[in-house]
Amino acid sequence: MGERLSGKIAVITGSGRGIGRVSAELFAREGASVVVSDIDAGNAEETTKAITNAGGRAVCHPADVTDSSQVDALVDRAVEEFGRLDIMFNNAGGALPEVTHEVTDEKYREVVGLNMDGVFYGTRAALRVMVPQRSGCILITTSGAGLGSVKGLAVYGMAKAGVVNLAKSVAEEYGPLGIRANVVSPGPIASPGFEQFVDSVEGLRAKMEGGVPARRFGLPEEIANTALFLASDEASYVSGVVVPVDGGIAGKYPTPTPEMD
């Protein structure tokens, strides 16, 4: 057991699997008490058990982040169980590729609901606790699709770009109260959700891998490690920033280049 989050209370949405789950387990190993939350109650329970079986502290509170009353109840649960809230990791999200002009109203609402509304609800609920506390850390998972364009992900990218601005705004507005807000931006990370995405279009896997300077997909652990740093006091003067964790994608200038491998 480490101590980088010793004594801290964290809520992590979408922690039933993928990046959220690995983050929940890592945060707990580093001393945090974690409220594990996911729309999939069975997966959230599994993450919780994995943490407690390993000697960590966790409680399970399934919630749908697109419903603000469920998100409010999730944050209330953290305070009821542990008395405070130090880290709100708004991580739940995802989408499959769509041709933009064929997106239905229902699909539009679904993608924006999960990737933008849910992050706002989580941030707002957390701030209601963190403002009187005069401390706290908001973490948000965006995507490379929120930093630049990714074909087929216009609506998802729009929502993911929106939450970057939310973090920057919160960092300025609440910085004087000791509250930080930061964003982690995964590149292609081999989570269950990403595997579903990459297999939904033929040939996409090889094409995507070839486009990453590191020439591989990342691991959920590589996002969790960055989230851990941002959530910890090691990042006490880091606020309002986006950290790409993407094997070098965000640094590329998209001009045609010779193949030199």
> Using CB under 6 A as the criterion, which residues of the chain lie in contact with ligand NAD when the complex forms?
13-14, 16-20, 38-40, 43, 64-66, 91-94, 114, 141, 143, 186, 188-189, 191-194
Smallest separation, CB 68 to ligand NAD (Å) = 12
Complex with ligand NAD: residue 69 or 236, whichever CB lies closer: 69
Q: Closer CB to ligand NAD, residue 90 or residue 232?
A: 90
Task: State the catalytic residues.
Answer: 156
Burial of 73 (0-12, 13-18, 19+ CB in 10 A): middle
Shortest distance, position 18 Cβ to ligand NAD, whole Å? 2
The three-class DSSP label of residue 136 is strand
Residue among 65 and 127 whose Cβ is closer to ligand NAD: 65
Using DSSP's 3-state secondary structure scheme, residue 138 falls into strand
| Count of alpha carbons within 13 angstroms of residue 78, beta-carbon side | 31
Smallest distance from the beta carbon of 27 to ligand NAD, in angstroms? 15
Work out the number of other CB atoms within 10 angstroms of the CB of residue 64: 17
261: CB partners within 8 A, 6+ apart: 215
Shortest distance in whole angstroms from residue 230 CB to ligand NAD: 14
- C-alpha 247/C-alpha 186 separation (Å) is 9
Nearer to ligand NAD, 56 or 188 (CB): 188
